[in-house]
Structure 1
Amino acid sequence: MNSRPLLVTCGLPYTNGPCHLGHLRTYVPADFYVRFMRRKGEHAVFVCGSDNHGTPIVVSAEAEGVTPRVISERYHTHFAETFKRMNIHFDHFGMTDDPATKARTTHIVNRLIKAGHVYPKIIQQAYCPKCKKFLPDRYLEGICPHCSKPARGDECDQGCGKHLEPGELLKPTCKICGTAAEFREQEHFFFRLSSFQDYLKDFLKDLKGTDNAINYALGWVNEDLHDWCITRTLEWGTKFPGRDDLVVYVWVDAPIGYIGFTEEWAEKSGSDWKDYWCEDKARITHFIGQDITYHHCVFWPAMLKGAGYGKPYAVVASGMVKIDDHKFSKSRGYVVWTNDDYLDQGLPSDYLRYYLLTYTSHTKEMNFSWKLFLERVNSEVVNTLGNFVYRSVHLSHKQFGGVPDVPVDQEIKTRIAETLTTVSDLVESYDFKGAVDAILALAAYGNTYVQTNEPWKLAKTDLVAMAQVMRNSLQIAKALALLIDPVMPDRAEKLWTQLGMTTPLAKAGFDDALVDLLPGPLSQPSILFEKLDEKRINVLDADFRQRIDALTSPPEPDNQITIEEFSKIELKTGRVLSAENVPKSSKLLKLQVGFGSETRQIVSGIAQFYSPEDLVGKDVIVVMNLKPAKIFGIESNGMILAAGDEASLLVPFKPVEPGTKIR
């Protein structure tokens, strides 16, 4: 057992939408790893939390008319409950918007400033002249300067995946209103990432974890690193020290959340967080998605070094997720929602955990389809593992009432010991598929052993020989209960109970796999691993494809009206007789419009585009039969028609008399 404590973290779920399989691609393997290492006797702490800052949450909050904190708390609770349903158990699950992480962020940024690693710089920042605001990150969209694909303000999310600094995006456009952005000068603060290039090269040589993370990061640090803008023009977030108009970039405070969550856990458990984050006392192991490798292997260790903290021990990056052989896409329906599509359908979390761990190597691309899920679970989990453990317990109970009083053959113990060593080596090298495959290989060995010895025949000819076969089989089943617990904890617990064990499974170590089961009675077993119903899975698959068709097929027009409905709209030409600004409003003009036989007062939001004197004498098109409304306390009786973002007024092509009806 390693004397250095193990701290495991997961990339933080962003509180701007519900949990899907893409999230679980990281969290299930991390939970498996922690459970396995604890069973080996390691002291492991598992912390995570929700990522609450950044522009997408602000945009969502503005759309709903609520505060960003309300959005964050809603999805924080959602993720916390979903993880529990998936048997992913953190020692602490916090929020980056809570005091501990905010205080730790301020402390670290101040240390970076004091050490000279942060400096101010005037930059050209995207600004929307219509919304009258600077446009950080997700408020902005345009073209990636590296690959020419559509990109958002801080990342090329549809192309090369590169991080983008403010000012790099080509053809920037405001995502709120679609207006082309201008560039205006603004002071921001930069982290001297470039000065950590040599340190990062040495750091990555020693970093443990998966090759896909380390090699990707080396590709970056072997080129010239650029300093990193660590402030944004937002109100939501952790304030940059000494500035009320700037917050720290979300990719500063999000990883600092790992420290904040450790502090919160330490406070309630009576531990010292410094044992994990100072002087490289602990093995800090980050489980992340491959898309955030740059942040965890380049930005994060440089920040920790600059602030005088310990460095990560390992970074384990998972491959990306495909759904039904298509690129993961929520907008196109290629997504499986953890609750709505899976757990709420009554499907076992154990089966999904198994699939996520075994479909492919952890670093490779994982594909999910309902048909593959059905085949893998029924053929591997049910037919191999489930068949063996049920036959072993059922035949032992039927013939002997429980565990026969004979010693286990050494050959069986040797096979179990070899499996334990193999699985342990694979887990510690982060080959989770290989580890679970080795566990299933022990179940397959057990099936072959039972099938070869045919105990149902021995029941008629040689009960002593049958007792030995069943005793050996039950010992393999005991080992399997211990080994599959990190994979399928619900069913492992039930198997442990069926084997007559009174010691809680959570307190048993892997060495117990070689300790003989005590002879004695067993209860009538039940089937632990039931087959997935093919008809039920086909219905889920059909629902999935219907959703894709609905999102990818051209929508049926739902805004068409009949000629009778259109005829109800009364349109006439009018002539502006007078115009004046509405006091205390920068957008409104009060107009008197003549229609020949009558004059109407109309309030129109076109003051940004026209002065009063421009409008007097102009012919306009007016909707006449709108209900009167009070705008800014002034009665308006009609609506002037205009087109586009700059309110181009609709006018008659040829001169007509005011009051002429439009047909």
Structure 2
Amino acid sequence: EPGEIRDPVCKICGNKAKYRQQEHFFFKLSTFKDFLLEHLQTLKVTDNARNYAMEWVTKELRDWCITRNLEWGVRFPGHDNLVVYVWVDAPIGYISFTEEYCNNTGGDWRSIWQEDSRIIHFIGLDIAYHHCIFWPAMLKGANYSLPWAVIASGMVKIEDKTFSKSRGYVVWVNEDYLDHGFHPDLLRYYLASYTSHTKDLNFSWKIFQDKTNNELVGSLGNFLYRTLHFAHKNYGVIPEGEVSDEVFSEIRTTINTVIEAMDQYEFKKAIDNILKLSGYGNTYFQSYEPWHLIKQDTKACSRIVKDCLQIAKALVLLSEPVLPIKMKEAWGHLGQNGDVTQLNYNEALIEIESGTELPKPITLFEKIDDKKIKEMNVILNKRVAQANAKEASISPKIPEITFDEFKTMDIRVGTVVTAQKIKGSDKLLKLMIDIGETEPRQVVAGIAQTHLPEELVDKQIILLANMKPAKIFGTESRGMILAADESGAILLMPERSVKNGTAIG
């Protein structure tokens, strides 16, 4: 906010900033506070997004400036020197492309955006405010349908740095993936199954390899191929027999857990349960040893093989949303007709039909060898090195200091005694910090958007204690807490608890 930065300078040229008076337009967001508090209680939203949004709404909710002084953008009506803030006009595109889609397919966009409907937004956590506060208020003001759910995902990162095309921290889908022969389904599976949808994902070729080799090749692919290969070789068709109650019960349980996980947008949990079913199938196949059983009791062997084919059918249906191309192939290997993408999970509880011809199957997934992963890591490391060099080249050069100069800084360990928000500021907290003096130090820190006050109390931090006192937003600050800056403040803390006032140096 204006006035919060002492001695502000331009990050590009280094010149001092000048304050100017300009005309801008505001959306009266403050009048929507009661509505937003109620909306956020009923909205189906991931906890990470709800917590961020509630923190904004429960404190002083200010009116929202919706114009900018930029060369690019949608011009604000009647003011050629202003453009509409992108997070005003961009979400309106959700409605306009829905209208275009409906015009092309014969539907009515109003049934989605002006009637009772389930609109679900899948977003990155960094735009939670826009979709949980600004956008619902705009829709409410215009009498449009509100979001039914907002699902905020974590960030994809490389070496803890958020993906960025401009900075170079990126894995290009064509150049770095498809052009090297990797199947698109493997990437979908990796992204969906690696971690919870709401957590950050650090891209790793090694983990990509492990998940492909151990889960897709070793478990799911292994069960589908061994079952289909045995059935094709020994029967040529789906054999006679009735699927056992045990197998149907296992499938039914898996369907229920997968649906529950999908309803919670916990895709990893859903995939874990699908893999559990493929593990059950592998154990089932192995325990009955059909390669021996077919020589001793052909009827019993037919029943076991049909049980396994029923499990295979269920696995294909359940895995299709994550592995659409490969599961379409597997559906054909099972001799099944129809579009697998249009079938309900409960189709897995309909007994697979005996006598259906089985074509010769092929392996769906191939192992990725260490040599290929080494090659990919060389490419990735080179890209990261280039990105690091690029950042270093544009970063302002910091002058070197002597050890004597460093010793002039009084850096100490302290414990946060109290923490509270500063009225009127979205970014500042007032902290009282015990650094071993007779009274705690009062310090103002710009960490309100990354740290809740109650979570800071009793935490030990690092404080520059001989910082010249200053008034920030009308509150005196006698020190500066030390933090790293990586998509927000990351506080520096001692490795273990030490006495307050312990010097660092």
TM-score (norm 1): 0.56
1:462 paired with 2:290, answer no
- Structure 1 equivalent of residue 379 of structure 2: 543
- The aligned residue for residue 87 of structure 2 is 251
Give yes or no for the alignment of 1:384 onto 2:219. Answer: yes
Give the corresponding residue for 1:188: 24
Q: Distance in 2 between matches of 1:277 and 1:344?
A: 40
* Pair 450,539 (structure 1): closer, same or farther in 2 beyond 3 Å: same
Amino acid corresponding to residue 299 of structure 2 in structure 1 = V
- Choose which of 464, 473, 498 in structure 1 pairs with 2:333: 498
Distance in 1 of aligned mates of 2:293 and 2:164? 56
Distance 1:254 1:168 in 2: 29
Instruction: Describe the shift of the 1:556–1:340 C-alpha distance in structure 2 as closer, same or farther (beyond 3 A).
Output: same
Aligned partner of 1:205 in structure 2 is 41
Counterpart of 2:294 in structure 1: which amino acid?
A
1:123-179 per-position Cα deviation (integer Å, ceiling 9, x unaligned): xxxxxxxxxxxxxxxxxxxxxxxxxxxxxxxxxxxxxxxxxx678666555566554
> Are 1:439 and 2:274 matched, yes or no?
yes
* Match of residue 444 from structure 2: none
Q: Which amino acid in 2 is paired with 1:195?
A: T
Q: CA deviation at 1:267?
A: 1.1
| 1:337 aligns to 2:167 (yes or no) | no
Aligned alpha-carbon RMSD (Å): 2.3
Q: Partners of 1:167 and 1:404 in 2: how far apart?
A: 78
- Report the Cα distance in structure 2 between the residues aligned to 1:515 and 1:345, rounded to whole angstroms: 40
Deviations 1:545-593 (A, max 9, x none): 1233344369999xxxxxxxxxxxxxxxxxxxxxxxxxxxxxxxxxxxx
C-alpha separation in 2, matches of 1:426 and 1:477: 21
CA distance in 2: counterparts of 1:468 and 1:350, whole angstroms: 32
Task: Report deviation, 1:381.
Answer: 1.1
Q: What is residue 346 of structure 1 aligned with on the other side?
A: 181
Q: Which amino acid aligns with 1:547?
A: R
C-alpha spacing 1:240/1:179, structure 2 compared with 1 (3 Å)? same
Q: What count of residue pairs does the alignment treat as equivalent?
A: 392
What SS is found at the alignment partner of 2:20?
Answer: strand
The letter for the 2-side match of 1:546 is K
Q: Secondary structure at the match of 2:123?
A: strand
Paired residue for 1:520, among 356, 366, 375?
356
Q: For residues 442 and 339 of structure 1, what CA distance do their matches in structure 2 show?
A: 33
The share of aligned pairs that are identical, in percent, is 53
Q: Distance in 2 between matches of 1:554 and 1:425?
A: 45
Distance 2:125 2:72 in 1: 27
Report the AA paired with residue 388 of structure 1: F
1:375-415 CA-to-partner distances (Å, cap 9, x unmatched) read 11110111000000000100001111121021211211111
| CA distance in 2 between partners of 1:452 and 1:465 (Å) | 13
Matched, 1:322 2:157: yes
**Per-residue deviation, residues 498-551 of structure 1 (Å, max 9, x unmatched):** 000122213322222112222232111100111123211210011211233344
Aligned residue identity for 2:113: W
How many angstroms does 1:336 deviate by? 1.8
Any unmatched runs of 5+ in structure 2? 394-505
Equivalent AA in structure 2 for residue 419 of structure 1: T
Query: Contact 1:386/1:528 (CA < 8 Å) preserved in 2?
Result: yes
Q: Provide Cα deviations, 1:27-81, integer angstroms capped at 9, x if missing partner.
A: xxxxxxxxxxxxxxxxxxxxxxxxxxxxxxxxxxxxxxxxxxxxxxxxxxxxxxx
Structure 2 CA distance for partners of 1:169 and 1:190, relative to 1, 3 Å: farther
The Cα of 1:353 is off from its aligned counterpart by 0.6
Cα 1:245/1:211, change in 2 over 3 Å: same
Whether the 8 Å contact between 1:285 and 1:313 is mirrored in structure 2 is: yes
Matching residue of 1:298 = 133
Of 502-511 and 447-456, more deviation after overlay is shown by 502-511
Indicate the residue corresponding to 1:119 in structure 2.
none
Counterparts in 2 of 1:198 and 1:451: CA distance versus 1, 3 Å: same
Structure 2 residue aligned with 1:405: 240
From 106, 110, 133, the counterpart of 1:270: 106
What's the CA shift for 1:344? 2.2
Q: Is 1:209–1:429's contact at 8 Å kept on the other side of the alignment?
A: no
Q: Structure 2 counterpart of 1:270, which letter?
A: G
Contact 2:169 2:387 in 1 (8 A): no
Q: Does 1:359 align with 2:197?
A: no
Aligned counterparts, 1:486-635, within 5 A: 486-518=321-353, 519-552=355-388
Taking a change above 3 Å as real, the CA distance of residues 547 and 238 of structure 1, as seen in their structure-2 partners, is closer
Q: Which amino acid aligns with 1:196?
A: F
8 Å contact kept, 1:359–1:367 = no
Tell me by how many angstroms 1:319 deviates.
1.4
- Counterpart residue number, 1:239: 75
Shift of 1:300: 0.8
Cα offsets for 1:173-195 (capped at 9, x unmatched): 55665544422221110111112
1:472 has 2:307 as partner: yes
TM-score (ref. length: structure 2): 0.73
Structure 1 residue runs of 5 or longer lacking an equivalent are 1-164, 558-663
SS of residue in 1 equivalent to 2:366:
coil
What is the alpha-carbon distance in structure 2 between the residues aligned to residue 423 and residue 491 of structure 1?
19
- CA distance in structure 2 between the aligned counterparts of 1:197 and 1:324, rounded to whole angstroms: 39
Q: CA deviation at 1:246?
A: 1.6
Contact between 1:213 and 1:297, CA under 8 Å: does it hold in 2? yes
Deviation at 1:287, TM superposition (A): 0.4
Question: Structure 1 residues 471 and 551 mapped into 2: Cα distance closer, same or farther (>3 Å)?
Answer: same
Conserved? CA contact 2:25–2:65, under 8 Å: yes
Q: Does structure 1 conserve the Cα–Cα contact (< 8 Å) formed by 2:167 and 2:391?
A: no
